[in-house]
Amino acid sequence: MRLPESRKPLLSAREAEENNTNNIGKWDNLVTLQWRNLKVEVASQSADDFWFQVTTSAGRVLLDGVSGCAVPGEVVALMGASGAGKTTLLNTLLQRNLKGLHVEGQIFVNGQEIGKAVTSVSAYVQQEDLFLGTLTVKQHLDIHAKLRLPPGTSSEEREKRVAEVMKEMLLEKPRDSRIGIPGIKKGISGGEMKRLAFATEMLNNPPIIFCDEPTTGLDSHMSLQVVK
C-alpha cells in the first residue's frame, strides 16, 4: 500500500513529543493516520522461581512489516482469520495493552510521529459494551458529556451536544429507556446498545474512531443499522 505524502514536515521524536504535549485536543478534525513497518513480538520475560530465575525468550512475532493509512471520510476495515493480529494492530495503533510486547515502527498523524498522544485524537469502541444498566440512555450520555467535554463547557452546550449525538445515532426514541443488562434485566435492544457505545465515544467529536468487531453478536438487520 502506497502511503500519501505527509502534509507537514516530520519532526524529531523529541520535537514530536513536545508538540503532542502542547497540542492535546487541538488537532485539525481532518486527520490522516499512517503507520509504517510495524513489528510486534512477545518480549523476553523473567520469572522468579524458588531456587533460580527463569528467563523465557519466546520471540513470537505477532505483526511483521505492517504499513497502511486511513484518510478522512473513509472507513478502513481490517479483515482476517481469528488470531491474524487484527486486535493487536488496533492496540498498537492506540498504544494500549502492550505490556509484555516489543513494538517497532512508526505511527504518524498528519505527518507528525505521535506516540501515546494518539489517544488525544481518537476514540475506541470496544467489542464488549460496558454500561450501568440502571441508567437511561440520556442519563448515560449526560454523565459522559460532563467527563469528556472540555472544562468550562456550559450545561447548555453539553445538552446541545448530547441532543446532536442522540439524533445522529438514532437514539431519540429510546432516550428515556433503561439501558438494561443483557440476559438479566430487560432494556434497550442490542443494536441500540451498540449505537449507544458509538454515541458515547462521539461526544467529543474525535477525528478517528477505532472499533473492535462492532457488529459481533448482532443480526444482519442490527448490523446494518450500526454500519449506517
DSSP 76-88: ------TTSSHHH
pLDDT single digits (tens) 116-169: 788 888 888 887 778 888 999 999 999 999 999 998 899 999 999 999 999 988
Task: Report pLDDT for 51.
Answer: 56
Cα separation values, 86 from 2, 30, 77, Å: 20, 24, 10
Strands 122-125 and 208-211, by their bridges, are parallel
User: How would residue 52 be classed by pLDDT, with cut points 50, 70 and 90?
Assistant: low
Please say if the pLDDT value at position 53 is more than 60. no
- Average pLDDT across the chain, whole number: 79
Looking at the chain, the domain(s) classified CATH 3.40.50.300 span 137-227
Q: Which of 45-59, 75-89, 137-151 has the lowest mean pLDDT?
A: 45-59
Smallest Cα–Cα separation from 191: which of 224, 142, 162?
224
Nearest Cα residue to 202 out of 143, 122, 93: 122
Predicted local confidence at residue 21, as pLDDT = 37
Q: What is the pLDDT of residue 12?
A: 38
Characterise 115 by phi-psi region: left (phi > 0), alpha (psi -120 to 50), beta (else).
Answer: left
Closest CA to 86 of 34, 38, 44: 38
Q: What's the pLDDT at 186?
A: 87
**3-class DSSP state for residue 97?**
coil
- Residues 5-44: tens digit of each pLDDT: 433 333 333 444 444 434 434 445 688 899 999 998 887 6
CATH topology of domain 137-227: Rossmann fold (3.40.50)
* pLDDT at residue 112 is higher than 90: no
Rounded to whole angstroms, how far apart are CA atoms 29 and 45? 40
Contact 32, 69 (CB under 8 A): yes
